[in-house]
Amino acid sequence: MNSYDVYWDAGSGGAHFEELVYASRPFTFYIYSVPYVQPGNAYQFMYRGTNFQGTGPFSDPSTIYAADYPNQCASLTTANQGGNVVVTWAAPNGNGLPIIRYMVSFQAKGGSYFEDTVNCNGQNVGVVAGTSCLIPI
């Protein structure tokens, strides 16, 4: 390969692609940081190579979301409610994407931790939206 092109859609949803990087030999980098991306937006990239026979076709677009891991949960509270324990927490910042799952662990009397996926399933839409669980005791 003598050169390559990287194109991106600049967040247009694939409606328009523009050249982001053109590199020829000697290649001095293979990592490129894209400035001005907005958290929560999707960006599409595609590339193609050129050799002595000509320029090849573009790759299929690859979608990348401008997001990071959610922040740490804070403000966990528990309350006794008619023989049950209600566990409630404040939703952290999702840093660009909505939170789709919580890992809620409880500590057994002996010291080991476990997840109660029956009463507090962190993948349950109601648990994710309500940021709380009702645990029978």
Peptide bond into 57 cis (omega under 30): no
Residue 29's pLDDT band (cuts 50, 70, 90): low
Closest CA to 63 of 91, 30, 31, 41: 41
What is the phi/psi pair of residue 41, to 5°?
-85, 150
Domain 3-65, CATH 3.40.50.620 — does that match? Answer: no
For 90-137, write each residue's pLDDT tens digit.
999 999 999 999 988 888 788 888 888 888 888 899 889 989 998 887
- Arithmetic mean of pLDDT, 30-57: 90
Joined together, the tokens standing for residue 62 give 């690859």
Q: Where are the domains of the chain?
A: 3-65, 74-136
Closest CA to 45 of 75, 18, 101, 7: 7
pTM: 0.65
